[in-house]
Amino acid sequence: MEKLKAGAKELGLELTAAQLEQFDSYYRELVDWNKRVNLTAITGYEEVQLKHFLDSLTVTLGWTPQANQKDFSLIDVGTGAGLPGIPLKIAFPAIKLALLEATAKKADFLHHMTQKLGLDDVEVVVGRAEEAAHQPRYREKFDLVLSRAVAALPTLVELALPFCAVGGSFIAQKKGAIDEEITRANKAISLLGGSLREVKRVDLPSLPGERYLVVIDKLSPTPEKYPRRPGLPAKRPLA
Ligand code: SAH
């Protein structure tokens, strides 16, 4: 995990030997399960360290976790194989983490992985964001909502912001040019009770390519009717 270790340093994070061992175990299980369950197209040892693990940790450029901060809760919407949620939980063990994933087989992997890594305070939620976000247990309950590679921003805002507590924030990890996507998302952001704080370019020597964090603050409660029923946020994005 040398690539990850060096890249994390660029973020100001010192990963311990025990944490690097956890990442190594995560890598091995990911590649093994990937033979049976479609989890990722990226499987090379160095590529996974950088494009999955380090990329997940770049969220810290938009949110500075306090060491040992208690009761800080985070939900990763459409986490897939656990990205970015699991790398963040390894790096910051004190956070309370919910991993939301619609596909049952991927959720099986998440259960397996959190057990294997001995991670406490992780809840795997199997289901769609459109439904989970209406359950009182999850609605407006999280300090931070994260999502990577799930949907275009206008759709994503409707899926993610309902989970965010007022006063909390949502960070979307995005690749490639995003100006136009952000313009299209303005309406959804304000309808859902959010406000765009910043679009931060991720500029790390270890991670080439155009990457951004879109940081949205939750200023007021999301109206009850959002998110709309499953599929609608993608089919008819708010505009
Ligand atoms: N965040 C991961 C996975 C990206 S793929 C990563 O960066 O690698 C997108 C994932 O989101 C898929 O696993 C898909 O099943 C899940 N997903 C898509 N729409 C969803 C929804 N409405 N609710 C919950 N999960 C969803």
Mean pLDDT, the chain, rounded, equals: 96
- Residue 62 Cα to ligand 1 middle (Å): 21
- Residue 79 Cα to ligand 1 middle (Å): 5
pLDDT for 6-41, tens place per residue?
999 999 999 999 999 999 999 999 999 999 999 999
Q: Quote the pTM value.
A: 0.97
Confidence band, pLDDT 50/70/90 cuts, at residue 184: very high
Residues 6+ apart with CB under 8 A from 55: 83, 84, 148, 173, 207, 211
Q: How many CA atoms lie within 13 A of 111 on its CB side?
A: 8
CB atoms within 10 A of CB 231: 10
- Residue 103 Cα to ligand 1 middle (Å): 8
Nearest atom in ligand 1 to the alpha carbon of residue 40 is 8
- Residue 224 Cα to ligand 1 middle (Å): 23
Determine if ligand 1 sits within 6 Å of the CB of residue 78.
Answer: yes
pLDDT for 115-143, tens place per residue?
999 999 999 999 999 999 999 999 999 99
Prior bond of 65 cis (ω within 30°): no
Atom 11 in ligand 1: residue holding the nearest Cα: 78
Rounded Cα gap, residues 219 and 217, in angstroms = 6
The mean pLDDT of 99-128, rounded to a whole number, is 98
Prior bond of 93 cis (ω within 30°): no
Q: Which of 32-41, 57-66, 84-93, 202-211 has the lowest mean pLDDT?
A: 57-66
Confidence band, pLDDT 50/70/90 cuts, at residue 66: low
Determine if ligand 1 sits within 6 Å of the CB of residue 129.
Answer: yes
212 DSSP β-pair partners: 174, 201
pLDDT at 71: 82
What is the four-CA torsion angle of 15, 17, 23, 26, rounded to 10 degrees?
Answer: -160
* CATH code at 2-235: 3.40.50.150
